[in-house]
Amino acid sequence: MKVPYFIPCITDQDKRTIMTALRSRWLTNGPMLEKFENNIRKFVGTKHAIGVGSATQSLHLSLRALDIGPGDEVIVPTFTFAATANAVIYCGAKPILTDVDSKTFNIDPISIKNKITKRTKAIIPVHYGGQSCDMDVITTISRKYGLSIVEDCAHALGSKFKNKHCGNIGNLGCFSFYPTKIITSGEGGMVTTNHPRLSKKIQLLRSQGMNILPHQRELKNKWRYDIIDLGYNYRLDEIRAGLGFSQSNRINYINKMRIKIAKKYNKLIKNINGISIPATKENRNHIYHLYTIKIEKDFHQGRNDLLKKLNIKQIGTSIQYYPLHLMSYYKKYFPQKISDFPISNRLKDQVLCLPIYVGMTDKQIEYVVNVLKSN
């Protein structure tokens, strides 16, 4: 049996919506993007949502909107994808890496406190795997030290902390619509915020800093525009927005299916000696963007040997993540003490992400678990 790590859930309705976008007059900055933005805004519960070309772009624009720049520091977990730290570097600022919690793999609040300096301007908590960070503690820290919060919600479309959606807790939330995420637009991202000034700044920056966009100029019968800030081409075109809009109508269904698969995994794996299933903290839901198991010392084989065995048995896996502080670029330009990251240093050799996607069958789940059990 073959079990891919992930298969995107693309429906006939998705295809029809893409064709509607192709037949429309505007292939960028048009009505499909507006529909997609409105759906995400309503779902997350914020006043504003701004579509962009990727989650990396959403992080970059969020930091730019907060006027993060040279000489500033931004606190980022080491146990994350490179984009979280890279967005800080794009602004000329310095990413300050922190350790994570040993059970949830979310940023450790104590580690945050230890890394704050006079140059610290913001915190980027990453909601790992589909479960919220401890946003009460992080918000308290941010208020005490006057720091902004940019939530990295790449894994967390539908995740909540105390019944409040991730992306509606900090100053800004940044979402990903990469093919493996909860919903996809192929490539794409979204910024959510309740702050009109930040929303306006991000809309300006995503389109080269133009004060009036082409379709607005036609509607207002104006040809003249001005460049009022250094912006970028970070737009989300109508074709990708169409796919994202169609998929956004199924967020709750998709998350429900992922949770169902995760519960099946939990039931079958929880009694396997030496494997820890994903931990769920109080006052938080888990939507299982990732189903990450942890291989303990008493398991009958090491993580890397297990990964090879699964690969031989045609089961797709992923390792998320290898800590940033151990990667060549960050070691060279932003070196930090390896001893500052005891948890992440261990997790890098323990974590293993199993297949999880809408359409995965019970037989496939059972096959994966049986291979885990086998010697």
286 is a domain residue: yes
The span from the CA of 105 to the CA of 341, in Å, is 12
Domain-embedded: residue 1: no
pLDDT tens-digit profile, the chain (375 residues): 999 999 999 999 999 999 999 999 889 989 999 999 999 999 999 999 999 999 999 999 999 999 999 999 999 999 999 999 999 999 999 999 999 999 999 999 999 999 999 999 999 999 999 999 999 999 999 999 999 999 999 999 999 999 999 999 999 999 999 999 999 999 999 999 999 999 999 999 999 999 887 666 565 666 788 999 999 999 999 999 999 999 999 999 999 999 999 999 999 999 999 999 999 999 999 999 999 999 999 999 999 999 999 999 999 999 999 999 999 999 999 999 999 999 999 999 999 999 999 999 999 999 999 999 998
**What residues have CB less than 8 Å from 375, skipping those under 6 apart?**
300, 301
Angle ∠(230,236,241) on CA atoms, nearest 5: 160
- Going along the chain, which residue ranges are E strands? 48-52, 73-77, 94-98, 120-123, 148-152, 160-161, 164-165, 172-176, 189-193, 275-276, 291-295, 351-354
| Structural domain of 330 | 252-373
Note whether 37 and 182 are same-domain residues.
Answer: yes
CATH code, domain carrying 335: 3.90.1150.10
Q: Do the domain assignments include residue 6?
A: no
The reply to whether the predicted model has a pTM over 0.75 is yes
Give a yes or no: residue 4 inside a domain: no
Number of domains, the chain: 2
CB-CB contact of 147 with 139 (8 Å):
no
CATH number where 43 lies = 3.40.640.10
Backbone angles phi, psi at 291, to 5 degrees: -110, 95
7: in domain: no
Same structural domain, 212 and 279? no
